[in-house]
Every structure is written in C-alpha cells, then in structure tokens.
Amino acid sequence: MKLTLTSWSFPRCTLEEAAGIARALGFEAMDAGAYPGGHLNREAILRGDRDEIQRVRALGLRISNVYYTFGAGFAERPLNSPDASVQRRNRADFQRVVEFCAAIACPSVMLLPGVIPPGMSKADAIRRCIEACQALLDVSRPSGVEIAIEPHVMGLLESPRDTLSVVEGAPGLKLALDYAHFVTLGYTQADVDPLCAFAAHVHLRQAKPGSLQTRLEHGTLNFAAMLDALRQANYAGYLAVEYVHQDYMQTDNVDVISETVKMRDLIRANM
C-alpha cells in the first residue's frame, strides 16, 4: 500500500501549489479532481488537449487517481441517469477521461454512483447504475484504467449492502472506499470491511456517527484494524489522505494540514 494526498484538500491552491504541498509533506503521489472548480482542466481533458497531459507530467509526482464528475455536481448528469442522451454523452466524455488517465499513467478514475431520480424507485436507480457501469467498463477495460465508484452520503449508495449489490452486478467495477461515509450514517467499521475486497482506491480521514470528518482524536475509526482488513483483502493500492474544508456535511471543521500530518504519521507507523 502507498500513501497519497487529495488535491481537493487545498481548493484555494493551484494544481502546482497543491503538488508542492504534497511533496513538502513527503507524498510521492496525489489524487486530482476534474470537475468544475477542480485542479484539472476538465474541458481540456474532454477536448483531448495534450497540454493538460504535459502540465500533469511536469508536476514531478504521480497522479494516483482522477476524480471526475459528468456534470456540475453529483445530480446534474448522474451516472445512472434514465435519459438515453445523457448516457451517450457520459460515455463519450468518459472515453476522453480514460485516454487522459492512460496517458499520465493514472491507475484509476473515481466516479460518483448517481442518485435516485424523481419518480424512480431505489431498486430501479441501482439497476440503472449497474447498467451504466457495465457500459463504462467496456470503455475503460482495454486501457487497464480501473473505475472506482465512491459510495457517499446523500447519493445513491449509502449502505454497504447496496454498494455490494452494484459491484457484484458489474464484474470488474471497483470502489473508491471511504469508511467515513458509512460511519457517519451509523454503520460500524465491521459492516464496511467486506467492501475492501472491491477497493481500487481508499480514502482516509477520521469520522464518527453524525460527523463525516473530525479530528483524529475525536473519531471512532480504528485505522490499524482498517489496514488489517485491507491486507486481508490483498489490497496493494493507494491510501489517500482526504481532509477537506468544504460546506458539504460541515467538513470545514478541522485544520487540514495538521490532520493530514497526523494521519500520514499514523498510517506510516502501521503499514
């Protein structure tokens, strides 16, 4: 397992500045976002602009995961949209994203699983998610770039059971696994452990029931036990330290640098 850092931990910085912080803190890789306001130029990626590839290559550290959204947020052009025209646009855009990831040797792209559209049952929304993921796997599979969907609060997949149904329904689909999203909703760490077998990428931050993010000393996640669960699943990918300062779920509640350093040191001591 290898440590990495999320660029969106530093939203006010440029891509180059975020990379500089990552290097200064001893990280050799960084996740980067391709969404409105993210550090990667999403429009350039969708144009197939080689300048964006060169900009990333010049950073001096590897991009460990690209976080991509099809629209402005997780509900504008959701992965599981029932609109056939949206599905076609998503697939065409995703082809460019996969080409970009392959060009910069990024092993995975993170997508959000979608929402429950108005008038649709959760079961049908999950079925559409599986179908959409199967179509996108046809795009990504030849390149070797893995698709890692992230179950998250306020999205389609808020329970380990629903998450498992999707990854089992779309063979080859992987997870960007963040225990915090489940723990804040009241699930136990043991409830989440079986999902380690499907992880392509892992996010690390402390959490507790009712709080998606908290200081290391104030949360309930046992990171030594989490690392053991990942080892038992033969996970050998990246562990991304992901403290943020956002309005979403009141995650503007910690000092990002301090918590990043504490988590870095804790994981190094237990790896």
For residue 83, pLDDT over 70 is answered with: yes
Tell me, what's the pLDDT at 249?
77
Tell me, what's the pLDDT at 186?
97
Secondary structure in 3-state letters for the chain: CEEEEEHHHCCCCCHHHHHHHHHHCCCCEEEEEECCCCCCCHHHHHHCCHHHHHHHHCCCCEEEEEEECCCCCCCCCCCCCCCHHHHHHHHHHHHHHHHHHHHCCCCEEEECCCCCCCCCCHHHHHHHHHHHHHHHHHHHHHHCCEEEECCCCCCCCCCHHHHHHHHHHCCCCEEEEEHHHHHCCCCCHHHHHHHHHHEEEEEECCCECCECCCCHHHCCCCHHHHHHHHHHCCCCCEEEECCCCCCHHHCCCCCHHHHHHHHHHHHHHHC
Tell me, what's the pLDDT at 248?
80
Tell me, what's the pLDDT at 74?
66
Tens digits of residue pLDDT in 122-174 = 999 999 999 999 999 999 999 999 999 999 999 999 999 999 999 999 999 99
Give pTM, 2 decimals.
0.95
Tell me, what's the pLDDT at 32?
98
Tens digits of residue pLDDT in 190-200 = 999 999 999 99
Superfamily (CATH) of domain 75-172: Divalent-metal-dependent TIM barrel enzymes (3.20.20.150)
75-96: average pLDDT: 92
